[in-house]
Every structure is written in C-alpha cells, then in structure tokens.
Amino acid sequence: MTQTYQAQVYVTLRPSVLDPAGTAVQSGLTQLGFTGVDRLRIGKYIELTIEADDEASASQQIDAMCDRLLANTTIENYRFDLHVVNPNTSEAVSA
Amino acid sequence: MSGLKFGVIVFPGSNCSRDVAYVTRDRLGCETRMVWHRETDIHDLDVIVIPGGFSYGDYLRCGAIAQFSPVMRSVIDHANQGKPVLGICNGFQILTEVGLLPGALIRNRDLHFICETVSLTIERRDLFWTQGYATADGVISVPIAHGEGRYFADAEQLQQIEANNQVVFRYCDPSGVVTPDSNPNGSLDNIAGICNARGNVVGMMPHPERASDRLLGSEDGLAMFAGALAVLA
C-alpha cells in the first residue's frame, strides 16, 4: 500500500555563488538597526506531496526531481524533509 | 534565396523571435520557419536560433521549464549532429539549463535589469557563428537587455572552458581592453558568450539581432547571421 508523504524542499545558492539580493536585504536589516546580522542568503522553499511505497522510494524520487528540475546544481544546493501525511486529517506528521 | 534554412524556436514568452526572423528572412533572404515549442520535427532546418524573451515567465529559474519543451529534444539531437545552434539571452539560459553549454546565468551583480549597448571582443572567429568576423578586427557594439546574465561556472568548469578556448565574446571597453569596469553584470572572466567544445553551439547574452540594421543604430551583429551563408550557401 502506498503512503502519502509531504516533502519540504530547500534550494539555496552554493556558498561560492555571490548572492547580491541577499547582500541588499542584509544591508536593509542593518539600516533598520539589526546589528550583527551576517551571511544572509536568499533561497527557495518548495512544498509538495508524493505517493510512494515507502520513505526510501519517496526520498529517491525527490532527489531525482531536485537534480533534474527543482535545483540547478551548478549554482544551487538542496535538501529536503519528508513527513508522513495522515490520510484522515491530511496533516503532515513527522516521518 | 540562399539554400540555408533557419528555424527560430518560439516558446510562450519569447519576445525576440520576430526580430531574428526579420534579420534572416527579410535582411538576408534566407528561408526562415518559426518553430512552435510543441513541434518535434525540425529535420528540414539547417540552423536553429533560440531567441530572447521570458520563456514560461522565467518560472523557477530562467530557462528551467523551457528545457522540457517537446522541441528541445529535437534541438539537442540537431546539436549532437554537429549542426549550428545559437541561443541569444534567454536562449543562452535555456542552452545552459538543458546542458548543451556549461555553466549558468544568474542575477546581475548589481541587481538591475541592464539595457544598454556594450562593447565586445570576439575571442573566436573560426566558428560557424563568428566566421563573418574572420577578416574584421576590433570590437563590436551590441545591446544587452537582461536581469539575469551574470555568467557563472564553478572553478573547474571555468578552467576547462578557458583551456578549451570556449569563450566566444567578452565584455570590454570601447578600445577592446577587457577590464573590470567594462563588465556590466559581474560575469566571470567578463564572459558574454561561449560555445560547446565542438563549436557548433553558441550562447550569448548580447542581442546581435538588435544590431543588424542601420535603422537601429548598429549593424555589428549582422555578421553573426550573414557570415554563415558563405559556407552553406
């Protein structure tokens, strides 16, 4: 029987890639008086649900999705969390 | 009419396709076919141009969605046969996303959308796409118009690109010197355009089709399209 999983995918710029938008936002925070803010980086958050036989299969598929489309690994890294979705409440609970 | 047949790929959101067709069809008299992104049969075409624009609204990343268009499978086959492909601006972004060219185009260093005429050095004059400049020297002036045109590749890729002489155009000052000040967007090594190892696929952020008619102020880009006719005509 398959299980529904929710994936929360975080795509971030690789450390070697300059993030001018992040730098601009960081300087905005500094101007607002939030001193001590550093290394601000802006990334993307993607959320999806997927039907899979088990967690390993879900994880493998999300990896493939990230490699092929969700992230451009020349410039971005990704990581994701998986949660089991309760079929009765549609709420995600920890896997 | 020249025997060379051009195809211009049209995605939802392409906005420079007619400009390219104006140059190849109206200025150069070459048969030119607009190829909708859902088409898959392009075997009648000798040369493919992927024009600028905002294919699929630049969703996710510039060029990310366009790479899965049915027509791109055929464009990859076309390129793998050694036939010429040129990607301009968004077309360059698509060629990197699809893996025909190395690296990526990311947000300009200073965040601005830059729309201006820049000077370029031509590093390769022996390619299908640049042979029209073979006997010319000096820089060319061509417009750029992009928000995400900063060329990036990791250190190893960049080293390989430079070692293989895959850089085709660099941003430079009007006298032809490549300087940090003449780099409009923060591209690594002032890179404005590159080719694949074989040399048949070229991607560039500047718009040669917008510099192909005196009415528009410059004809410096015309040789990109006209130079090709000498060989295959």
Provide the CATH number for the domain around residue B125: 3.40.50.880
In which band, very low, low, confident or very high, does the pLDDT at B231 lie, cut at 50, 70 and 90?
A: low
What pLDDT, on the 0 to 100 scale, is given for residue B18? Answer: 96
Distance from CA of B127 to the nearest CA of A (A): 26
Q: How many domains does chain B have?
A: 1
List the single residue in A21, A69, A74 with the smallest CB-CB distance to B107.
Answer: A21
Inspect the interface and report whether the beta carbons of A21 and B68 lie closer than 8 Å. no
Q: Residue B195 corresponds to which tokens in the numbers above?
A: 């080719």
Burial of B85 (0-12, 13-18, 19+ CB in 10 A): buried
Question: Does 3.30.1280.10 match the CATH number of domain A3-94?
Answer: yes
Radius of gyration of chain A (CA): 17
Average pLDDT over residues B160-164: 97
What pLDDT, on the 0 to 100 scale, is given for residue B44? Answer: 97
Burial of B88 (0-12, 13-18, 19+ CB in 10 A): buried
What pLDDT, on the 0 to 100 scale, is given for residue A95? Answer: 52
Q: Name the residue ranges covered by the structural domains of chain A.
A: 3-94
Most confident of B52-56, B131-135, B208-212: B208-212
Distance from CA of A86 to the nearest CA of B (A): 29
Distance from C-alpha of A39 to C-alpha of B62, rounded to nearest angstrom: 25
In which band, very low, low, confident or very high, does the pLDDT at B233 lie, cut at 50, 70 and 90?
A: very low
pLDDT at A57 over 70: yes
pTM for the structure as a whole: 0.91
* DSSP-assigned letters across all residues of B171-195: EE-TTS---GGG-SS--GGGEEEEE
Report ipTM for this prediction: 0.80
Q: What is the pLDDT of residues B56-93, one digit of tens each?
A: 888 899 999 988 899 999 999 999 999 999 999 999 99
Range(s) of the domain holding residue B156: 2-232
In which band, very low, low, confident or very high, does the pLDDT at B137 lie, cut at 50, 70 and 90?
A: confident
List the single residue in A14, A16, A18 with the smallest CB-CB distance to B186.
Answer: A18
B155: left (phi over 0), alpha (psi -120 to 50) or beta: alpha
Inspect the interface and report whether the beta carbons of A74 and B104 lie closer than 8 Å. yes
Distance from C-alpha of A49 to C-alpha of A68, rounded to nearest angstrom: 18
Strands (E), chain A: 3-13, 44-52, 76-85, 92-94
Q: Are strands B2-10 and B47-50 parallel, antiparallel or unpaired?
A: parallel
List the single residue in B60, B108, B154 with the smallest CB-CB distance to A16.
Answer: B154
Which of B 145-184 lie inside 8 A of A, CB atoms?
152-155, 157
Distance from C-alpha of B47 to C-alpha of B75, rounded to nearest angstrom: 10
| Average pLDDT score over chain B | 94
What pLDDT, on the 0 to 100 scale, is given for residue B1? Answer: 46
Q: Residue B42 corresponds to which tokens in the numbers above?
A: 């392009």
Amino acid sitting at position B2: S
Is-contact B168 B194, C-beta < 8 A?
yes
Q: Which residues of B touch A74 (CB under 8 A)?
A: 96, 102-104, 152-154, 157
